[in-house]
Structure 1
Amino acid sequence: MRQPRRLWILTNEYHPYIIGGLGTAVTSLTEAYVRSGVHTTVLSLSSNSSISIVKSGRLYIVRFPTRAPYYSMKTQQFNPAAIERWIKHQGFQKPNGIHIHSLQFANLSEYYKSKYQIPIIYTSHSLVTREKGPLSKKKQIRIDQQALLFKKTSKITIPSRSELYKLKKLYPFVAGKASVVSHGVVLHKSQTRLSRRHLLYVGRLVPLKGIEPLLKAISKLKQDGNKVWLDLIGTGSKRYVHQLKALARKLGISSEVRWFGFRSQSQVQKMYATYGAVVMPSSEESFGLVALEALASGIPLVSTRAGGLADFVNSSVAQTIPRADGTAIAASIKAMWSNKKLTDKRVAAGRRLAAHYQWPQAANRYKHLFRQLQGSNTSDKRGSIDHAH
């Protein structure tokens, strides 16, 4: 049975407009699809009011503006009819598989599935109903959209076992069509790096990521007479970032902490290998791509085993943090410094482990799932699929 020749990727994040792990994962996976011979069209958001198209070999990136007629602010959904009209006018052929990553495209994927019997795989990067914060009208819309997508989609993939467990508990009806497909990583050569006293945090600046206890840990290490520096890469709400910076001032660590804000994925990849260690103090993670990227970069990792991190973070490859509080984080960082031989051993083991998580393998898993779905779909058995867009 042949692999899918034409895929659509539906995502609100794609290089260079990446907010977090979703955008990094989708971009890397798409590149792996393209390298393996699949003609791939990414449908994403435009940062301005016009449609933009970028073509590069077998890859098309089409960005639609979030305004009428293509998008409805009320439903927070792209409009299938308007997008189909534009796509037909441009001469794009229908895909024989759709891989959706973002809820804003739920109606579009369902439209193509029901109208043309195109198999859909939905990768759930996080469960909206488990997101912290008040239940706003906007959040309720997203919860309803995700539940509908779980019902209607052909296959659901989740990046970790802990997320799959939570998904089945919340939505028991998905049991027969949900499975784990791990994210991948790009292996990097080690470079000359800073001292292990120079720590790096990468990720969104949100409460679940454990940044407040991390700042308290830096304060505790400083008070104990240790030289320590922390750089933070990532963005969050203005209010929360202001709160974090105020905490750093209050703790007397402003000169030890630098706030880098947003950096592109390619910049981050280069930066990893120059730092002394990556710290990941999360209390919740659906996968934990940053931790895997740290291992792939040959850099010491100090991390919790929250959520999806438990799939690959253990004491063989990292200094584990038993709980996300300041004292425990400080003790774990100190242990990473003290046990130099053990830390070096973990770095080598981490590189070997990361080599098993690469994007081409993830792309192959997805192509296998699409082949299964096409095999069970008689409309896809009628003839061969050509290579053109």
Structure 2
Amino acid sequence: MKIALITDAWHPQINGVVTTLTHTTEILHRLGHTVELCAPDRFYTWHHPGHPSVGRALLRGPRLLPTLEAFKPDAIHLASEGCVGFAARRYCHERGYHYTTSFHTRFPEYFKMRVGLPLWISYGYMRWFHSESERVMVTTESMRQALSAKGFDRMVIWSRGVDTDLYRPRGKDFLPGERPIFAYVGRVVIEKNVEDFLKLKLPGTKYVIGDGPMRAELEQKYPEARFVGFQSGEALARYMAAADVMVFPSHTDTFGLVILEALASGVPVAAFPAPGPIDIIGNAQVGVLSADLKQAALDALKLNPADCRRHALNYSWEQSARQFVSHLTPMVRINGETRFES
């Protein structure tokens, strides 16, 4: 199948969306599909102040339309609601093409935190963007329910995976510091709620593994915590596995790939009972969900690392990619039917 994948999030950005699309594209190629990736790196871009890795595409139409016309996809998927996604949506709308979309990020909550934009404005745009999509792919059942309450429909579940070869139990002596070691892994930005982790009165040592615009402020405010900056690949896997508990303080993530990465490393998770943690952990004895994040972190120390690893083995990127393909819809109907042309 020829799949046009449209996204505003791509390298050099480092986030869950980019990780998901990278693994999905690799697996799709392995399964024999042809993927045309339309991302900001194919356009002229301008960069957000304070976020040099985040580019916004300019002149999308003149460059995007010839690309899609030449590729002649069987299916079009819009993975984001930004500039490139908007141009692709307009292209499909003008030509009467069918497409699918995915809801990866709770941008309305992020915009409210960062600039005070009322939720009704940004959710109004998000509902409009997804309103003509044949299927809206969401990460979890709890996200489906949350978005349904806000007027979204035609939603299906597209779950995520984890590289269990890279993320695996390893020795704990990689990280110095008094035990237990509690770690936050991810971007250091306001929407990740990192300060709620740093404020906790916990025994042992806190680590912040990641970078972002709030790092300098938090590093100065919490000098007892150890900030090690951005890590990736083998280095990140070693940091992850050396922790005793991974603390996930976000209220706004739609999934939380680092939860799976921690569990695959044999590290239990402490988190608030929010979408993502609720769906991944549920009632399994691999993490503790509580409004009292300190108690959740302390209780997580008692959990069995082997159980965490076994739980993560239920998730794979190939399974995720196959689920993605099953939700795609033909760009053009054939005799009124929803089937792909052979």
**Bucket of the pairwise TM-score, normalised by the shorter protein:** 0.7 to 0.9
Q: Secondary structure at the match of 2:261?
A: helix
Matched with 2:101 is 122
Deviation at 1:129, TM superposition (A): 2.8
Given that residues 202 and 234 in structure 1 are in contact (C-alpha distance below 8 angstroms), is that contact kept between their aligned partners in structure 2?
yes
Q: How does 1:338-377 map to 2 (within 5 A)?
A: 339=302, 343-344=303-304, 347-370=305-328
2:63 aligned partner, one-letter code: I
Deviation at 1:159, TM superposition (A): 0.5
C-alpha distance in 1 between matches for 2:27 and 2:335? 25
C-alpha distance in 1 between matches for 2:182 and 2:251? 19
Deviation at 1:366, TM superposition (A): 1.9
- 1:94 matched to 2:89: no
Matched with 1:37 is 32
Matched with 1:201 is 184
C-alpha distance in 2 between matches for 1:114 and 1:142? 21
Deviates most, 275-284 or 179-188: 275-284
C-alpha distance in 2 between matches for 1:381 and 1:213? 49
Given that residues 106 and 145 in structure 1 are in contact (C-alpha distance below 8 angstroms), is that contact kept between their aligned partners in structure 2?
no
Deviation at 1:190, TM superposition (A): 2.1
C-alpha distance in 2 between matches for 1:365 and 1:178? 13
Deviation at 1:294, TM superposition (A): 0.9
Matched with 1:214 is 197
Q: How does 1:79-158 map to 2 (within 5 A)?
A: 79-84=59-64, 87=67, 92-103=70-81, 104-131=83-110, 132-133=112-113, 134-136=115-117, 143=123, 145-158=125-138
C-alpha distance in 2 between matches for 1:122 and 1:85? 18
1:244 to 212, 215, 218: 218
Q: Secondary structure at the match of 1:192?
A: coil
Matched with 2:296 is 332
Q: Secondary structure at the match of 1:284?
A: coil
| Percent sequence identity over aligned pairs | 23
TM-score calculated relative to the size of structure 1: 0.72
C-alpha distance in 2 between matches for 1:382 and 1:330? 51
Given that residues 183 and 243 in structure 2 are in contact (C-alpha distance below 8 angstroms), is that contact kept between their aligned partners in structure 1?
yes
Matched with 1:300 is 268
TM-score calculated relative to the size of structure 2: 0.81
Matched with 1:18 is 13
CA displacement, residues 256-297 of structure 1 (integer Å, 9 cap, x when unaligned) = x22233333564345322333322122333112111111122
Q: Secondary structure at the match of 2:87?
A: helix
Matched with 2:51 is none
Q: Structure 1, unaligned stretches of length 5 or more?
A: 47-62, 68-75, 385-389
Corresponding residue pairs, total? 324
C-alpha distance in 1 between matches for 2:134 and 2:294? 46
Given that residues 264 and 308 in structure 2 are in contact (C-alpha distance below 8 angstroms), is that contact kept between their aligned partners in structure 1?
yes
Deviation at 1:377, TM superposition (A): 7.1
Q: Structure 2, unaligned stretches of length 5 or more?
A: 47-55
Given that residues 209 and 282 in structure 1 are in contact (C-alpha distance below 8 angstroms), is that contact kept between their aligned partners in structure 2?
yes
CA displacement, residues 196-250 of structure 1 (integer Å, 9 cap, x when unaligned) = 5233211222344332232222xx23xxxx4x2222122332xx3343223214x
Deviates most, 124-133 or 141-150: 141-150
